[in-house]
Structure 1
């Protein structure tokens, strides 16, 4: 195993992987960034295209270890990007996508064209997109979408960037990747798998691949809420799908959490450690777990902070939920679904916590679940909102 350190979507990442691991498998399996799709795995179809030091690159034929020190941007990292936002709207307007499998790589390549082409020349756009194959659309809508964004940006006097910002010759990623191997690299210890860590008692810090921020309010004073957070068994009883395996201790809590995403069920068995700071009414829970059935593993971190409201009569609970998921479930655990599940889990936890502190029984027991019908209804609501917005 080799420890690879690089920037992914503006976040420092240091993860252990086999030397033969491709960049595509690295971001999908190690970082849960499954927006990067795998098609031909020969660098031909372009579905796996990412930005490597700002340059489009085929991640399926790029070794992750060769990207040491580089800056990688996947389609998830372009959520707030101005050009990509315009392209997404144009793709919808021009009916430039059908099944959507090629779309992430297509958007990354199209963004590069919008950035550097001086005008919306159809031939140059088609040549620029020739490395991205689509089996559905016939390309007409895609070309029109890219043309419309280039025309709109040039009309707003946004000048092209010469060579798309490329400053060095050589392979994509050579701009920042570590090239001087004359000095031996320090030997790093490969991370111990979660299951082994749980067995030996070590629960180490980590850098989450995804962080979700949540907030809820309790009609109880901060001191009372903070004291409740010290009742590990009580908190576990309020968390949907969580059960303890043994008497809890702050330095080690062993348990099980059951999760259901539609028809997919998982039971993560593992351990956690708990840190608290009474001076700031804050704390942290760091945990690891594995699901033997799917051969998936997860690392999780919950940071919380309590803020007084209504003159100290109520409390705002701020949560930062970070996680890294690997294995089969990482392939289906799309960020949108995980965010939805996290919101539902936090809402149910808040309701259970409020009932528990008010002396009423909580509704704990069932797995933390995101049903098929809730997924469908959310998709329909989002589409209806977009249609009304366009109208």
Structure 2
């Protein structure tokens, strides 16, 4: 989850949302502003149109995280707006609405035309409203309503605004949000490493978008395993693809994890905060990292707990792995693939850890960069085994 700070209808809002949450879902589900309607959800019908930094934008294809620091105005925020008030009266007078589903987005787009057009040119109005679809009215009343408002305002010597008040090129909301004057509004998000790869000084808690539970058993006493978890350099040497970039401390570690899956390669560099509770033999590691090549970022949290087995001669290690992935690599981070990958990584980590604690030479323990083919082949073998197992079980039952 990502914390998004922005202005909605002149009110400061700071809420968490998944990176893939659209602005339309954000204002409807998080803020209960259901005047923004969802139609096609492909940016075609215009029912979801809102003002993003004063410019009409399709909220169904705009990510909420991309609007951090911006000013959003939904139809509810135009209740006291002079132009919208005139348009509402004109829509009623010209019978410009029927079922009303398209009307909120239609009013937002019509308001922009009233502000921009120098005169009530029917052709330009129809072109300007062509991105807002109505399946009831036939548009005649809508066009007449917009024309009447433009004519009335120009008759009152209210001049059009050049480009509707737009002051810069680029997509709606691209760098136009300001506190006052030319002072930019900073976007407040969950801290991630800086773009130059520097590790963040402070690592904040977060709510993972995905949580996976894993466990494994080690033939060593819990006290010995817990002491091993205190050896950060030793633990790092057992983790596939992990390398340290700075000397670790008991509370902090900086490093990198490299992953390669076929043609996809990523190296996440960042830092993690380490917490331990000797009384319960448990701990937590919270980290952030970025891959400069793909411009992807991740936040991760690993919680572990050690439980005695076989009268204390062995240890059950219970893991809870939570993460949030943003950027290009999020497109391939499917839950099924991630679960299979996590299972494989935990198995390799457990094997390396056992060998390390058993005194195996360090050359046999150090983990190389992850092999995409070996991971994929193991996943395919496991899935084929499950598939044929179901087939043969079904045949056996039929006989």
Q: TM-score, normalised by structure 1?
A: 0.53
**C-alpha distance in structure 2 between counterparts of 1:62 and 1:388, whole Å:** 46
- Per the TM alignment, residue 385 of structure 1 is displaced from its structure 2 partner at its CA by 4.0
Residues 195 and 384 of structure 1, relative CA distance in 2, 3 Å threshold: farther
Q: Which residue of 2 aligns with 1:366?
A: 368
After the TM superposition, which residues 146-295 of structure 1 pair with which residues of structure 2 at under 5 Å, given as runs?
189-195=188-194, 199-295=199-295
- Per the TM alignment, residue 373 of structure 1 is displaced from its structure 2 partner at its CA by 3.0
Residue 270 of structure 2: SS of its match in structure 1?
Answer: strand
**C-alpha distance in structure 2 between counterparts of 1:194 and 1:206, whole Å:** 15
- Per the TM alignment, residue 262 of structure 1 is displaced from its structure 2 partner at its CA by 3.1
- Per the TM alignment, residue 308 of structure 1 is displaced from its structure 2 partner at its CA by 0.7
Is 1:3 aligned with 2:7?
Answer: no
Residues 258 and 21 of structure 1, relative CA distance in 2, 3 Å threshold: same
Instruction: Tell me if structure 1 keeps the 8 A contact 2:192–2:290.
Output: no
Q: Which residue of 2 aligns with 1:321?
A: 321
Q: Which residue of 2 aligns with 1:377?
A: 381
**C-alpha distance in structure 1 between counterparts of 2:282 and 2:340, whole Å:** 25
Residue 199 of structure 1: SS of its match in structure 2?
Answer: coil
**C-alpha distance in structure 1 between counterparts of 2:271 and 2:199, whole Å:** 9
Residues 127-172 of structure 1: CA distance to partner in whole angstroms, max 9, x if unpaired? Answer: xxxxxxxxxxxxxxxxxxxxxxxxxxxxxxxxxxxxxxxxxxxxxx
- Per the TM alignment, residue 23 of structure 1 is displaced from its structure 2 partner at its CA by 5.9
- Per the TM alignment, residue 378 of structure 1 is displaced from its structure 2 partner at its CA by 4.1
- Per the TM alignment, residue 297 of structure 1 is displaced from its structure 2 partner at its CA by 0.7
Instruction: Tell me if structure 1 keeps the 8 A contact 2:190–2:204.
Output: no
Instruction: Tell me if structure 1 keeps the 8 A contact 2:209–2:322.
Output: yes
Residue 257 of structure 1: SS of its match in structure 2?
Answer: strand
- Per the TM alignment, residue 312 of structure 1 is displaced from its structure 2 partner at its CA by 0.8
Instruction: Tell me if structure 2 keeps the 8 A contact 1:245–1:255.
Output: yes
Instruction: Tell me if structure 2 keeps the 8 A contact 1:266–1:293.
Output: yes
Instruction: Tell me if structure 2 keeps the 8 A contact 1:240–1:349.
Output: yes
Residues 25 and 358 of structure 1, relative CA distance in 2, 3 Å threshold: farther
Q: Which residue of 2 aligns with 1:41?
A: 42
Instruction: Tell me if structure 1 keeps the 8 A contact 2:5–2:189.
Output: no
- Per the TM alignment, residue 265 of structure 1 is displaced from its structure 2 partner at its CA by 1.6
Give the superposed CA RMSD: 3.7
Residues 269-297 of structure 1: CA distance to partner in whole angstroms, max 9, x if unpaired? Answer: 11111000000000001111111111111
**C-alpha distance in structure 1 between counterparts of 2:309 and 2:302, whole Å:** 22
**C-alpha distance in structure 2 between counterparts of 1:243 and 1:220, whole Å:** 25
Residues 314 and 191 of structure 1, relative CA distance in 2, 3 Å threshold: same
Instruction: Tell me whether 264-273 or 17-26 shows the greater mean CA deviation.
Output: 17-26
Q: Give unmatched runs, 5+ long, in structure 1.
A: 6-12, 27-38, 45-58, 66-186
Q: Which residue of 2 aligns with 1:81?
A: none
| Structure with bigger gyration radius | 2
**C-alpha distance in structure 2 between counterparts of 1:322 and 1:22, whole Å:** 25
- Per the TM alignment, residue 250 of structure 1 is displaced from its structure 2 partner at its CA by 2.4
Aligned residues: 238
Residue 279 of structure 1: SS of its match in structure 2?
Answer: coil
Residues 358 and 2 of structure 1, relative CA distance in 2, 3 Å threshold: closer
Residue 236 of structure 1: SS of its match in structure 2?
Answer: helix
- Per the TM alignment, residue 331 of structure 1 is displaced from its structure 2 partner at its CA by 0.6
RCO (CA 8 Å, sep 6+): is it higher in 1 or 2? 1
Instruction: Tell me if structure 1 keeps the 8 A contact 2:200–2:271.
Output: no
Residues 346 and 325 of structure 1, relative CA distance in 2, 3 Å threshold: same
- Per the TM alignment, residue 201 of structure 1 is displaced from its structure 2 partner at its CA by 0.7
- Per the TM alignment, residue 335 of structure 1 is displaced from its structure 2 partner at its CA by 1.0
Q: Give unmatched runs, 5+ long, in structure 2.
A: 7-13, 28-39, 46-57, 65-185
